[in-house]
Structure 1
Amino acid sequence: MKIALSQVNPAFWFLSPALTLIAVFFFLPVAASLLLSFTDFDIYALGDRERLRFVALDNYLRLLRDPLFWNALKNTLYFVLVGGPLSVAVSLGAALLVNHRLVRFKGLFRSLLFLPVVTTLVAIAVVWRYLYHPRYGFPNYVLGLLGVGPIDWLGDPDWAMPAIILMATWKNFGFNMIIFIAGLQSIPARLYEAAVIDGANTWHQFRHITLPMLGPTFVFVTVITMIGYFQLFAEPYVMTRGGPANSTLSVALLMFQEGFRWWNLGYAAAIAFTLFLIVLAGTLLQLKLRRKEV
């Protein structure tokens, strides 16, 4: 039975332009990339389509045998598991300080702490590369005052990733801080007043009121932070190019190198969808753990 156009919900006509754009510029490219991951599409196929072959799961099997991918995955997991919790902790600490009732000029402090989020990463990378300079950098200057020798922060494989984690935490914590502030302001003040009457100190209030009430906010912040940190690309690309000795090579950076340096676009698409599956699995795991806690 055909439905007359006049019977279609008017909301559909208002949403259709946006849905069309999403389909054309998101779903179609994603579907094309998925198909591309099952081919050996490379620079030769750009010039001659007859060189394009369907290779089924060969790209994914090659991925599992590639030691460079496993090294990139290890570096990415290191960045996520260390940098993610550190960023969330710093964000929560900053939100608690800025939201404290005794703090004046709260709007000014929020704006200043949020500035790194909206600052261009290239500009930040230039400043932090100077800060990490082996001879003239501020961290090594402080270490020199303490009698410790200089560290080649971006040239030492043992220190390059921690240096990038520190910079990424400084740049990104402001966004999560704003979300935590919104969560803190949604907690009823009467809960704290009742806790004070019952003799609860500041730590007990934080542990038994603030943290439980921030549960949904923690889930959102954790998931968003994890997704963003799994896509680590700009920081190592600008500061270290994945070095030294591939110690800062991430999965996203490996995907970029395979796709746009070596033009192995089919293999790069396989890396992209593998990363998507890893992020999806991590997100579902966090949501499942949250439901168990509730």
Structure 2
Amino acid sequence: MTSSAVIDAPTRPDPTSAAVTRPGYRKRLRRRNLWIYAFLLPTIVLYGLYTLYPIVASYWYSLVEWNGFNDDQTFVGISNFQAVVSDPLFWSAVRITVVFMLIVAPLRVFGAFFIAILLNSPRLPFSGFFRTAFFLPVVTTTAIVGVVMRFVFDPANGPTAAVARFLGLGPIDLLGDSGTALATAAVVYVWKFFGITMIYWLAALQTIPRDLYEAARIDGARGFQIFRYITLPMLLPFLLIISVLTIEDCFHAFDLMQTMTAGGPFYSTEIIEIYIYRWAFAATIPQLGFASAAAVLFGVLVLIVVALQLWGMSVSRRMRKGVDS
């Protein structure tokens, strides 16, 4: 290392130096920290009011009988929880949520994996265009996508109905049929958020050193051999993390499902979030306590997934160390 490099290298101030211990420096440091906290304060206040407070309040509401309109809150203990677990529609919503996840997660994880492999190839022309095209639905408003898709699948005047008539298939109502509504909504959800999973895989692919590919080609390895013996082993630690992130994301499909089907027809697409919304806001007499109890149980389910995510990250870290060694 040359002397100029040593001189130009940035150095951190010594906390025992005279410049740091001067009163002026400490005053400037306090002023800078004050501005930092001042800019953070709006976010902290809004996060506390609209995120933390509702979460804490829902635990109390789950223990009372309350319609949300008056101040009459009757403490009922765990009666709301007993009513929720004895409701067949709650378990139907749990089953539909799980089925929705089982449809969406594999399509997103493995479909995005193969698309990312193709888009990561330096020989693919217009790869930047295709990346943008796949990611563009992610930045669109989910509720607007749901409204547009209701028009697309409209059995009377939608493009899908027009194509079906052109092919001589007769009228079809994909969102109005209880046998096809959930699968149709799942496919739309995959299309909407496919780009996020693709970005995860593209980021994972960037962690593979190019030297490994060059060394493999020098040794005579070709496309599929490189994919099997280098790409797959190096991406294996990321599979668990991406899978858990995608599964957790599948539990938050309320806005798309509500605007597309509102849980119908005949509760065939009523996921847990719509079940909670129906009891809290859409019922003739809202039951905030009952809905809060369902929300708490739903939160427990999400916490289990988060615990799996943390475990998956730990396992992935150990696997990554094993691959690197």
Q: Shorter chain as normaliser: what TM range?
A: 0.7 to 0.9
Match of residue 300 from structure 2 = 277
Structure 1 stretch 206-215 or stretch 66-75: which is displaced more?
206-215
Deviation at 1:246, TM superposition (A): 0.6
Matched, 1:30 2:51: no
Amino acid at match of 2:54: P
Matched, 1:89 2:89: no
Match of residue 3 from structure 1 = none
Amino acid at match of 1:222: S
CA spacing shift, 1:257–1:153, aligned 2, 3 Å: same
Alignment size in residue pairs: 283
| Secondary structure of 1:129's aligned partner | helix
Deviation at 1:169, TM superposition (A): 0.6
Cα root mean square deviation, aligned: 2.9
Alignment partner for residue 268 of structure 1, among 273, 279, 291? Answer: 291
Contact 1:79 1:229 in 2 (8 A): yes
What is the TM-score with the length of structure 1 in the denominator? 0.83
Q: Separation in 1 of the partners of 2:255 and 2:53?
A: 26
Deviation at 1:120, TM superposition (A): 2.3
Match of residue 242 from structure 1 = 263
Deviation at 1:42, TM superposition (A): 1.0
| Secondary structure of 1:214's aligned partner | helix
Identity between Structure 1 and Structure 2 (%): 36
Contact 2:62 2:290 in 1 (8 A): yes
Q: Separation in 1 of the partners of 2:292 and 2:298?
A: 10
Matched, 1:204 2:225: yes
Q: How does 1:1-294 map to 2 (within 5 A)?
A: 14-15=36-37, 17=41, 18-19=43-44, 21-43=46-68, 46-47=69-70, 49=71, 51-134=72-155, 151-262=172-283, 263-288=286-311, 291-292=314-315, 294=319
When Rg is computed on C-alpha atoms for both structures, the one with the higher figure is 2
Q: Separation in 2 of the partners of 1:227 and 1:90?
A: 17
Gaps of 5+ in 2: 1-25, 320-325
| Secondary structure of 1:79's aligned partner | helix
Q: Separation in 1 of the partners of 2:194 and 2:315?
A: 27
Q: Deviations over 1:6-30 (max 9, x none)?
A: 9xx9697545735455444432332
What is the TM-score with the length of structure 2 in the denominator? 0.76
CA spacing shift, 1:208–1:62, aligned 2, 3 Å: farther
Deviation at 1:74, TM superposition (A): 0.7
Contact 2:205 2:235 in 1 (8 A): yes
